[in-house]
Amino acid sequence: MRLDRLACEALLLTRSQSRKLIAGGKAAVNGKIVRDPAARVDPQRDTVTVEGKACRARAPLYLMLHKPAGVVCATKDPKEATVLSLLPDQWRRPGLAPAGRLDKDTTGFVLLTDDGAFAHKVISPRKSVWKTYLAELDGPVTEAVAQAFRRGVVLNDGPCLPAEIRAVEGAEQTAEVRIREGRYHQIKRMFAACGLHVISLKRTAVGGVQLDPALASGQARPLTEEEKNRIVL
Ligand code: URA
């Protein structure tokens, strides 16, 4: 990470205070003065001090948010409420962002983290982190629809990876769908390609972790270490 960012986070400085101190020769990396605020440092390996105070990286944060409808999965938006705006101050920090996006009207499990490498693994189709959704539809899920999903529905931006789908018992117009990609409006477009309209969509699990039923809509909580390890296997 950048030296000025580490100093900001560790010492609770503003970006300009941190840059001024660094440019003024107050920062040392492994005992040597570094005056470039953009210098790259590895907080796990490098010993960084500013005015003699040790700058240690905070442990990364992993949050499970129960997203309500009507908020956008973005860090900033000029008009709309964002998932970050739902969080209490204690969890807001630079770099915290949703790992993957849900549509504004989609509800359910959003993972928020400031661990960029972890977020990348969650999002990358190659890592096969399955995301599970409950979709309410305007018609029944026939065997033909299920087969199309299992083979890989072809969308206008290319074929989807095979998805898993099962009808929910006692609710023939509701399906549980599992996908390992996160393309724009993917599930809505997959059903539309099969002649069905999605009335509501909820993400119920990411990897091996279910949305906590005790988490009310709009609430968040940190993942346990054990849950974090069940997201990316
Ligand atoms: N697929 C969609 O169509 N929308 C979402 O929000 C997530 C998956």
C-alpha distances (whole Å) from 46 to each of 54, 56, 57, 118 are 11, 9, 11, 21
- SS3 sequence of 83-129: CHHHCCHHHCCCCCEECCCCCCCCEEEEEEECCHHHHHHHHCHHHCC
pTM over the 0.95 mark:
no
Instruction: Look at residue 126 in the predicted model and tell me its pLDDT.
Output: 84
CATH superfamily of 3-54: RNA-binding S4 domain (3.10.290.10)
| CATH number at 65-125+212-231 | 3.30.70.580
Domain ranges of the chain: 3-54, 65-125+212-231, 130-206
Instruction: Look at residue 128 in the predicted model and tell me its pLDDT.
Output: 86
Average model confidence (pLDDT) for the chain? 95
Which protein residue's CA is at the shortest distance from atom 3 of ligand 1? 185
**Token pair in block for residue 231:** 């997201």
Instruction: Look at residue 58 in the predicted model and tell me its pLDDT.
Output: 79
Which one, of 65, 207, 66, lies nearest residue 132 by Cα? Answer: 207
> Collapsing DSSP states into helix, strand and coil, what is residue 212?
coil
Percent of the chain with pLDDT over 90: 83
Q: How many other CB atoms are there within 10 angstroms of residue 231's CB atom?
A: 21
158-188 pLDDT per residue, tens: 999 999 999 898 898 999 999 999 999 999 9
Cβ–ligand 1 distance for 188 under 6 Å, the answer yes
Contact between residue 21 and residue 27 where contact means Cβ atoms under 8 Å apart: yes
In the reported structure, the alpha carbon of residue 107 is separated from the centroid of ligand 1 by a whole-number distance in angstroms of 10
Where residue 12 falls among pLDDT bands split at 50, 70, 90?
Answer: confident
Active site residue 36: no
Cβ–ligand 1 distance for 113 under 6 Å, the answer no
In the reported structure, the alpha carbon of residue 208 is separated from the centroid of ligand 1 by a whole-number distance in angstroms of 19
CATH superfamily of 130-206: Alpha-L RNA-binding motif (3.30.70.1560)
